[in-house]
Amino acid sequence: MHLRIVILIYNLLFPLALVLMLPGYLVKMLRRGSYGRGFGERLGIYSASKRKILRGLDRPVWIHAVSVGEVNIARKLIAALHDLDDGLPIVLSTTTPTGFSIAEKSGAELVIYNPVDLWPVARRALKEINPSSLVLVEAEVWPNLVKGAGRQGVEVSLVNARLSLNSERQYRRFRFFAAPVFSMLTRVCVQ
């Protein structure tokens, strides 16, 4: 029951936060130009060519890495996974344009922008990708994505997890919200 309450509160507050952040995001899109690229993917809407690639992948491992640092970690993980099984299909998602450009050289079969964590968007992305497992790099634990993955029987791992003293204090302070979300993870791999 506790998790349901947390998810409900999150789903009431997160869209409001997105609306408040939208003007800044639009300004950033206009200034940098590249932030508009892949906008549909952020809503779980993929181009015909990417949908075709996804249909050709049999239950890929979905790795999510936010930006450059996380993508570089993901690249090492992808290389190690391909060393174990060179036929293992991998989808790599990222959030930033810089991360995306580096991710394109990662060896993943498909690189996409991570969907916004609104429950219908997360559900659509999970349906399109149909992953066998979801691997989150460092601290990208999005409640709707993780919950949706769990509902589909997809194991969710957090890799290269780190927790600074300041972050620990914040998590302890908001443990009512953080604990149920982190309890949905299948495994956590720390440094």
Q: Where are the alpha helices (DSSP H) in 42-164?
A: 48-56, 68-84, 97-103, 119-129, 143-151
Q: How far apart are CA 156 and CA 159, in angstroms?
A: 10
Nearest in space to 94 (alpha carbons), one of 123, 69, 61, 120: 69
Q: Is 45 helix (H, G, I), strand (E, B) or coil?
A: coil
Give the DSSP H/E element, type plus range, for residue 183: none
Helices and strands in the chain, H and E counts: 8, 6
Sequence letter at residue 121:
V
Q: Which residues are catalytic?
A: 70
Query: How far is Cα 61 from Cα 27, in angstroms, rounded to an integer?
Result: 34
